[in-house]
Amino acid sequence: MIQRKVARLARNAKSLLNSGKWRPLTTSAGIEYQNEPPGPIVVTEIPGPQSRKLQSDLDAIQNASMVQFFCDYDVSRGNYLADVDGNVMLDLFTQISSLPLGYNHPAMTSVLKDPSNWSTFVNRPALGYFPPANWVNRLQSALVSVAPPGMKHVQTMACGSCSVEHGLKALFLKYARDRREGRLYTQEEIDSCMWNQPPGSPKLTVLSFHNGLHGRTMACLGLTHSKWQMKIDMPAPDWPIARFPALRYPLEDYVSENTAEEHSCLAEVEERIDAWNRKEMPVAAVVVEPIQAEGGDNHATAAFFQVLRDITKKRNIGLLIDEVQTGCGPTGLFWAHEHFRLSDTPDVVTFSKKMLTGGFYCKKSFKPIESNRIFNTWVGDPSKVLLLEAVVKVIREQGLVERTRVTGEYLLTGLRQMQDKYPGILTKARGLGTFCAIDFHNTESRDSLVFKLRQRGVHTGTCGSVTLRLRPSLIFQTRHVDLFLEHFQTVLETMPTK
Amino acid sequence: MIQRKVARLARNAKSLLNSGKWRPLTTSAGIEYQNEPPGPIVVTEIPGPQSRKLQSDLDAIQNASMVQFFCDYDVSRGNYLADVDGNVMLDLFTQISSLPLGYNHPAMTSVLKDPSNWSTFVNRPALGYFPPANWVNRLQSALVSVAPPGMKHVQTMACGSCSVEHGLKALFLKYARDRREGRLYTQEEIDSCMWNQPPGSPKLTVLSFHNGLHGRTMACLGLTHSKWQMKIDMPAPDWPIARFPALRYPLEDYVSENTAEEHSCLAEVEERIDAWNRKEMPVAAVVVEPIQAEGGDNHATAAFFQVLRDITKKRNIGLLIDEVQTGCGPTGLFWAHEHFRLSDTPDVVTFSKKMLTGGFYCKKSFKPIESNRIFNTWVGDPSKVLLLEAVVKVIREQGLVERTRVTGEYLLTGLRQMQDKYPGILTKARGLGTFCAIDFHNTESRDSLVFKLRQRGVHTGTCGSVTLRLRPSLIFQTRHVDLFLEHFQTVLETMPTK
């Protein structure tokens, strides 16, 4: 009886989504939202019975223990994610921050509708050898047109990890070239590198920060220090790791403490660089996220990044800013590091996620000079760049980065009000644009809130050990903020204070 | 005047391709070839002026020195690749061996034509958290259905490098779990791994073979020893490397020498494992290609691989067979290692290229037990698995793997005839299926032949220092072999013997 009722509700939710009954809403800014529902629809617990069944089936093929629920992407739209049990959730996590325009955005679907685009999807080239006719134009319009200031060179890659791995290689190459001072490779270098031995394979290292995450291939995992489950049992390079600032909030109350904290971390950076140089494992590069995401949405001030740029520049060490999660507008500028007003641009900036394609930008001096240094079979995927081109056009035409600033301010104000109202539960509301987070006093209450929110059809993420991570898409609007805050408060009301 | 003539010829070639004037050919086996031209069409030198102009434009954005020519993928079809200057080449290289069904195969285009598939292309999920409703079914039909014997577990990844990197992690996990003998992680392990230090980050190593290629991210590059340009200046792990057998040809004349060579390499494997174990850098895994491709199409016998399997099994070391280039049928079996009739299946088999998605298969005992060990944001791409599903259907329905055996035998016979006819130029004709190669007595004559073939509209690849590498798609037929051999012989006729 109950089961049948649930099934009927689920069918109703799906048919409502499919019917297009929700008309596109035209806001004052003229933006349409693809027949979004007026709010979440919840017909089962989440994950529901269909999701749990599928998870068990999937686990027979691979470890499926991380699966949260199975989705119906056909009927998901805009800011709303549908699951296989007929629930429709307001999505503030967007596939770990990887959807620029929400679900089934018409500009992206239009790319698929156009038969002249199909060959790009069925003929994936070895891009480094045999690029398509329109490749230069497409790189220009999708990637060069949104390049960080001062960076006109770009290399595509398939995913975030490969972007960081190959971005590091660009830094190693430049460092080794400078150190070689114009002399040719020696035969000893050529021979020894084939056996992984110095001097051909030099003992170069990369400094990263505690709590950072840069991917999970070997070099990336060597830079990742957010959760031990990712790292234990895996061999890792002996590379230096410095503390990332742990700022106290509210910032305005702790200016001198936070300045001291950042100085201390920067001193540690210099001390570690010296220590590894003394070990004859010279530090060739520093890698940092503009906001440590997976590690707990840890922010540092612009001053911290300015000094970090100055330290690396002074020592002729490369600086890679990893914008895999922060890039493509969510912080209110296209690239988060633009907030820092650095004295000189970073040397390499990596991207992926919302950019749909992985890759890295670099300064001209970091563009590899020789052949066959940064290469693999696919080096990216033109079909992703084709979709990105459509996304960038929408972002530009609809001013979505600027709108994210407005929506983000509204969201952060709301979070601060909640924090003021529930000081026994919440602390450290923070964010740039809609890239927002708030902490709980303990993991249990954070996890309990996320669970309860989800049962109400509001889907959020977590990071660090006590942080609620909000990563809506760029079409998230103030009316979605209102919906989120309404459910957030309702759940907070039910929770015990510490 | 000449320029105008060239432009007219190029337009003619394109309009012929676009017009569909070449009707599908129905062979005795009932297979259609999508309006292929009757042979190559050459209207300019290759690369032509359009390609050269585009290459110079691209070089302003990234190092474009590896580009061979720019392609017109819209009009390419079947075994024929069109370039931007109006040339149409018979393609025996197929994007570094990564096209299963040639260009614009109707079964793949049909996937794009179907509106019910579009949402899979525009809503790329974080697969490990939020898989699509049909994900289990699709994994079954596209990947589990073609799994190597004895391997029912599969994990998708975005590219070949990530497949190998994460395949290694599955091996490290199993090795560490066995070594731990059931005890829990110690706090020291948990703490130390966050700083990249043992015991949490153990000094585990992986044995690979000289001349192998497994990708170009850090761990993959540490296993790669084919060309120094890929490796020099990059830090590399101190992992053991053994020689791969250098067989003498014709095989039947050198049976005892080749057996001795393989024994010597296997002895080196054991000796290196012992040496690294003594250094307290235990070898957790051995990684090998079934045929070393980039390194020069180096084959070893089934007996070599059988003993390698036995050595690794006896020592409780994982065996990863890297089928990124050999997988998906080109050798005449779906997986090349099936030719070896191993006493036990490999522990991990990696794939990418023709499989359209990267990933790895593993035995049940190598499936990670715990959560969050093999993971990243995308862990692959459902749109690639959707296309693979269509490809696997065609392969099965048209018996393409079996046909590759027939075509391959025909091709190898032709290569041997050429070798007999031009012993002063050619040597070591070899292959499995259409995965064929032949050596030249020096690099110059090999490169000269490839250049001249290309000017005749026949596109081939190279590997090692003196090897012609043939990697046609699975729809390459005996009539294409005839065309290739005809042009091959014509060029050979013009070449000096040593």
pLDDT tens figures, A369-380: 999 999 999 999
Chain A residues in contact with B119 (beta carbon < 8 A): 73-74, 76, 103-104, 109
Whether residues B423 and B392 fall in one domain: no
Whether residues A271 and A282 fall in one domain: yes
- Total residue count of chain B as it appears in this document: 498
Chain B residues in contact with A73 (beta carbon < 8 A): 119-120, 123, 125, 132-133
Distances (CA, A) of A240 to A208, A237, A285, B203, B468: 7, 9, 11, 17, 45
Residue B492 falls inside a structural domain: yes
Domain with B413, as residue range(s), is 402-498
Q: What is the DSSP letter of B469?
A: E
Residue A31 pLDDT > 70: no
Residue A24 pLDDT > 50: no
Closest CA relative to residue A116, chosen from B154, B18, B260? B18
CATH number of the domain bearing residue A437: 3.90.1150.10
Whether residues A379 and A311 fall in one domain: yes
Match 């305005």 to its residue by tokens.
A252
Rounded-to-integer distance, Cα A205 and Cα B143, Å: 39
Strands A205-209 and A241-242: parallel
**CB-CB neighbours of B279 under 10 Å:** 12
What confidence score (pLDDT) does residue A22 get?
A: 44
Nearest CA in chain B to A93: B126
Q: Cβ A113–B108 below 8 Å, yes or no?
A: no
CA A302 to the chain's CA centroid: 19
Whether residues A391 and A477 fall in one domain: no
Match 């700022």 to its residue by tokens.
A247
Whether residues B422 and B381 fall in one domain: no
- Gap from A293 CA to chain B (nearest CA, Å): 13
* From B61, B63, B73, residue closest to A119, measured CB to CB: B73
Residue A287 pLDDT > 90: yes
**Which residues of chain B carry a pLDDT beneath 70?**
1-34, 498
Specify whether the CB–CB gap between B488 and B453 falls below 8 A: yes
Q: Cβ B383–A103 below 8 Å, yes or no?
A: no
CA B482 to the chain's CA centroid: 24
Q: What is the DSSP letter of B326?
A: T
Q: Mean pLDDT across the stretch A94-120?
A: 97
* Beta bridge mates, A80: A77, A90
Distances (CA, A) of A203 to A52, A166, A182, B57, B302: 48, 17, 20, 36, 38
Backbone angles phi, psi at B153, to 5 degrees: -100, 135
* From B133, B201, B205, residue closest to A84, measured CB to CB: B133
Residue B101 falls inside a structural domain: no
Backbone angles phi, psi at A164, to 5 degrees: -70, -45
What are the E-state strand segments in A47-162?
80-82, 88-91, 153-157
- Domain count of chain A? 2
Residue A34 pLDDT > 60: no
Q: Cβ B74–A205 below 8 Å, yes or no?
A: no
The residue out of B335, B366, B396 marking a domain boundary is: B396
Strands B283-288 and B205-209: parallel
Residue A244 falls inside a structural domain: yes
Give the ranges where A370-496 is alpha helix by DSSP (H).
Answer: 382-397, 400-421, 443-455, 478-493
Q: Mean pLDDT across the stretch A442-454?
A: 98
Show the tokens assigned to A309. Answer: 């740029």
- Gap from A176 CA to chain B (nearest CA, Å): 6
- Gap from B487 CA to chain A (nearest CA, Å): 22
Chain A residues in contact with B193 (beta carbon < 8 A): 228, 231-234, 236
CA B473 to the chain's CA centroid: 11
Closest CA relative to residue A320, chosen from A184, A136, A471, A173? A173
* From B115, B237, B373, residue closest to A196, measured CB to CB: B237
Long-range contacts, stretch B47-50, CB < 8 angstroms, 24+ apart: B47/B83, B47/B85, B48/B6, B48/B83, B48/B84, B48/B85, B48/B86, B48/B87, B49/B85, B50/B83, B50/B84, B50/B85
Residue B108 falls inside a structural domain: no
Distances (CA, A) of B209 to A39, A195, B298, B340: 58, 10, 11, 18
Whether residues B343 and B447 fall in one domain: no
Q: Cβ A218–B217 below 8 Å, yes or no?
A: yes
Helix axes B382-397, B135-142, angle to 10 degrees: 40
Strands B80-82 and B88-91: antiparallel
Distances (CA, A) of B467 to A32, A91, B39: 58, 54, 25
Rounded-to-integer distance, Cα B292 and Cα B209, Å: 9
Distances (CA, A) of B22 to B36, B116, B405, B475, B477: 6, 31, 27, 17, 17
Rounded-to-integer distance, Cα B263 and Cα B243, Å: 11
The residue out of A369, A396, A423 marking a domain boundary is: A396
Cis peptide leading into residue B250 (ω within 30°): yes
Residue A459 pLDDT > 60: yes
Distances (CA, A) of A139 to A385, A396, B390, B411: 7, 16, 30, 39
Q: Cβ A165–B125 below 8 Å, yes or no?
A: no
What confidence score (pLDDT) does residue A80 get?
A: 97
Residue A498 falls inside a structural domain: no
Residue B180 falls inside a structural domain: yes
Residue A391 pLDDT > 80: yes
Q: Cβ A162–B66 below 8 Å, yes or no?
A: no
Residue A6 pLDDT > 80: no
* From B135, B201, B203, residue closest to A58, measured CB to CB: B135
* Beta bridge mates, A378: none
- Gap from A148 CA to chain B (nearest CA, Å): 14
Whether residues B330 and B436 fall in one domain: no
- Total residue count of chain A as it appears in this document: 498
- A16 by Cβ neighbours in 10 Å (0-12 / 13-18 / 19+) ranks as middle
Whether residues B387 and B436 fall in one domain: no
What are the E-state strand segments in A273-432?
283-288, 291-292, 298-299, 318-322, 348-351, 358-362, 426-432
What confidence score (pLDDT) does residue A402 get?
A: 97
Whether residues A353 and A453 fall in one domain: no
Rounded-to-integer distance, Cα A308 and Cα B348, Å: 42
Specify whether the CB–CB gap between A94 and A102 falls below 8 A: yes
What confidence score (pLDDT) does residue A28 get?
A: 45
ipTM exceeding the 0.90 mark: yes
Residue A450 pLDDT > 90: yes
Chain B residues in contact with A202 (beta carbon < 8 A): 233, 235
Q: Cβ A161–B160 below 8 Å, yes or no?
A: no
What confidence score (pLDDT) does residue B11 get?
A: 63
- How much of chain A, in percent, has pLDDT values that exceed 90? 92
CATH number of the domain bearing residue A272: 3.40.640.10
Best of A68, A94, A127, A377 to substitute, by most chain B Cβ atoms within 10 angstroms, is A377
Whether residues B163 and B259 fall in one domain: yes
Q: Cβ B71–A132 below 8 Å, yes or no?
A: yes
Chain B residues in contact with A369 (beta carbon < 8 A): 63
Show the tokens assigned to B193. Answer: 């791994």
Rounded-to-integer distance, Cα B300 and Cα B100, Å: 25
Q: Cβ B234–A74 below 8 Å, yes or no?
A: no
The residue out of A374, A396, A418 marking a domain boundary is: A396
Give the largest Cα separation in chain B, rounded.
Answer: 81
Residue A407 falls inside a structural domain: yes
Chain B residues in contact with A121 (beta carbon < 8 A): 112, 121, 383, 387
Chain B residues in contact with A162 (beta carbon < 8 A): 158-159, 161-162, 217
Rounded-to-integer distance, Cα B217 and Cα B162, Å: 8
Chain A residues in contact with B187 (beta carbon < 8 A): none
Rounded-to-integer distance, Cα A342 and Cα A149, Å: 11
On average, the pLDDT of chain A sits at 94
What are the E-state strand segments in B36-152?
80-82, 88-91
Nearest CA in chain B to A121: B112
Closest CA relative to residue A287, chosen from A332, A241, A252? A241
Answer positive or negative: Cα dihedral of A186, A190, A191, A192.
positive
Whether residues B17 and B63 fall in one domain: yes
Whether residues A133 and A216 fall in one domain: yes
- Gap from B176 CA to chain A (nearest CA, Å): 6
* From B130, B162, B372, residue closest to A230, measured CB to CB: B372
Residue A380 falls inside a structural domain: yes
pLDDT class for A5, splitting at 50, 70, 90?
low
